[in-house]
Amino acid sequence: QRHSADMASRDYFSHTSPDGTDPGDRITAAGYRWSTYGENIAKGQRTPADVMKSWMDSPGHRANILNCSFKEMGIGKQDSGGGPVWTQKFGAR
């Protein structure tokens, strides 16, 4: 949720924030002790079904979703002027 909110409030769309923070940095800062992680982001899809279709139609995003090494996940959504901003995090401890 935090990354979706940050992208919406600072008007960017990237796995790396303007200050250089990457997904591993954010996951660690949230207190998650990971051994592996992945992140999917999307913008503009109006419904959960729409964003899942977009991710499943993208080979890289689909690979994250189907990666059996990931044991836990979290999802964030933040409304913005350009439509919802979605973040999907995957990890294993």
Q: pLDDT category, 33, cuts 50, 70, 90?
A: very high
Where residue 43 falls (left for φ over 0; alpha for ψ -120 to 50; beta otherwise) is: beta
What's the total number of domains in the chain? 1
CA distance 33 to 54: 29
What is the residue whose two structure tokens read 């207190």?
31
pLDDT of residue 6: 97
pLDDT of residue 74: 95
Most distant CA pair in the chain: distance in Å?
36
Percent of the chain with pLDDT over 70: 100
The pLDDT tens digits for 65-77 are 999 999 999 999 9
Q: What is the pTM of this model?
A: 0.93
DSSP-assigned beta bridge partners for residue 92: 36
For residue 44, the domain's CATH number is: 3.40.33.10
pLDDT of residue 43: 98
Q: Domain residues for 7?
A: 2-92
CA distance 69 to 88: 15
Pairing mode of beta strands 85-92, 36-43: antiparallel
